[in-house]
Chains A and B, each alone.
Chain A
Amino acid sequence: MAWKNRITGHFGPRILGGANFVLYTAAVVAIVVLANWFVDRHNRRWDLTPDQKYSLSPQTTKL
């Protein structure tokens, strides 16, 4: 905890709060970005049109 005292001694407790804030925010943004990236790689879709108009035919997917 010595380093913590040294930092807070110099700049006051605000800077630790600020670093915490930035880290926390960056972590949440990173998780969301990763989730999007992952789902984009392993995508699934459900075509609700009665004639499956927007899905590839089984013949195409076999290629």
Chain B
Amino acid sequence: MRNVLAIAGKELRTYFHSPIAYLVMTVYAGLCGFFFYSFAATFVLQSFRMQAMGGMGAPGMSLNEYIIRPLLAGVLTVVLLLLVPLITMRLYAEEKRSGTIELLLTSPLTDLQIIFGKFLGALALYAMLVAITFGYLGILFLYGNPNAKPLLANALGLFLFGAALLALGMWFSTFTKNQIVAAVIAFAAFLLLFVLDWPAAYSSSAVVRVMSYMALTTHFDNFAKGVIDLSDVVYYVSVVVLGIFFTARSVDALKGRA
């Protein structure tokens, strides 16, 4: 465990020694801020209109439903789709390019320790993005009264979603020694996993149902609503497990060739 943490710490420090961490965090904070502002502005306008019409007996608009849910499920997942490849692209590609991969493969640490370490390092940087998101959501508590309990589901969902992307991205990073190539493969794969449920709109065959189940987006909306669904949790954990497993296989194959 101490070895894993040592690798994770080293990875996290590397992110902050390169411009990547600052770039990813700044871009995310900027985009998140814009979207948060525009959803909040729309919400305020809508609720003024509702008031002007005397409410018409309708229940009050919930901040969770009109700001947090569309913000998370509608746009932030797409922003992460673009940014997570930037976090994962260097994990193995950079080691391969600089030749340090040989040191890693022959070090006394086991492959799994290294893989978990790298994954946790990337996850720590990702956790900072989640923290930025919740910084914005905290503003809602200053000026309104959203429900706090659904935020637990929101946080869990955002975390699992990112972990799944990071694990897959780490695997793609073992394919090549070029970071750009790793990022492009990751982005293409994430995008495909994103739209895999589109055929469900016009078909309900078994194949389409399986495709829809495999889509990253299908499993996020429950979390955004404030509902923890066991099958969604299991889905994201499965993607993480498979991502780490395939990374291990891939690293194994590298060893055979070295």
B228 touches A46 (CB 8 A): yes
Query: Residue B153 at the A interface, CB < 8 A?
Result: yes
Q: Interface digits, A38-54 against B, CB 8 Å rule (1 contact, 0 not)?
A: 01100111111110011
CB-defined contacts of A44 to chain B, threshold 8 Å = 229-230
Q: Is the CB of A49 within 8 A of B230?
A: no
Q: In the complex, which residues of chain A have a beta carbon less than 8 angstroms from the beta carbon of B242?
A: 28-29, 32
Tell me, rounded to whole Å, the shortest Cβ–Cβ distance linking B155 to chain A.
11
Q: Taking the complex as formed, is A7 at the interface, i.e. its CB lies under 8 A from any CB of chain B?
A: no
Complex interface: chain B residues within 8 A of A40 (CB): 213, 231
CB distance from A9 to the nearest CB of B (A): 21
**Which bracket fits the contact residues of A?**
20 to 34
Q: Is the CB of B225 within 8 A of A49?
A: yes
Distance, CA A29 to CA B64, complexed state (A):
37
Q: Bound state CA distance, A47 and B225, in angstroms?
A: 9
Q: Contact: B228 with A49, CB < 8 Å? A: no
A20 to B8 Cα, complex, angstroms: 31
Binds A, one of B22-30, B78-86, B233-241: B233-241
A35 touches B234 (CB 8 A): yes
Beta-carbon nearest neighbor of A21 in chain B: B249
Q: How far is the CB of B43 from chain A (nearest CB, A)?
A: 17
Assuming the contacts A29-B242, A32-B238, A36-B213, asked whether A48 and B226 have C-beta atoms less than 8 A apart, the reply is yes
Tell me the count of chain B residues lying within 8 A, CB to CB, of chain A. Answer: 25
- Does B147 contact A50, Cβ atoms closer than 8 Å? yes
**Given contact pairs A43-B229, A44-B230, A45-B230, A50 touches B238 in the complex (Cβ within 8 A):** no
**B residues in contact with A45, CB < 8 Å:** 222, 227-230
A36 touches B152 (CB 8 A): no
Q: Are B147 and A32 in contact (CB under 8 A)?
A: no
Instruction: Check A48–B235 contact: CB distance below 8 A.
Output: no
Q: Mark B231-258, 1 if CB is under 8 A from A, else 0.
A: 1001100100110010001001000100
Q: Provide the residues of chain A in CB contact with B231, threshold 8 Å.
A: 36, 39-40, 43
Set B226, B235, B245, B249: member contacting A49, Cβ < 8 A: B226
Bound: A31/B234 CA distance, A: 12
Beta-carbon nearest neighbor of A33 in chain B = B238
Given contacts A25-B249, A45-B222, A48-B153, contact A35 B227 (CB under 8 A): no
Mind listing 11 A-B residue pairs with CB under 8 Å?
A: A17-B256, A21-B252, A36-B238, A45-B222, A45-B227, A46-B228, A47-B226, A47-B227, A48-B228, A49-B226, A50-B147
| Residues on A facing B (Cβ under 8 Å) | 17, 21, 25, 28-29, 32, 35-36, 39-40, 43-50, 53-54
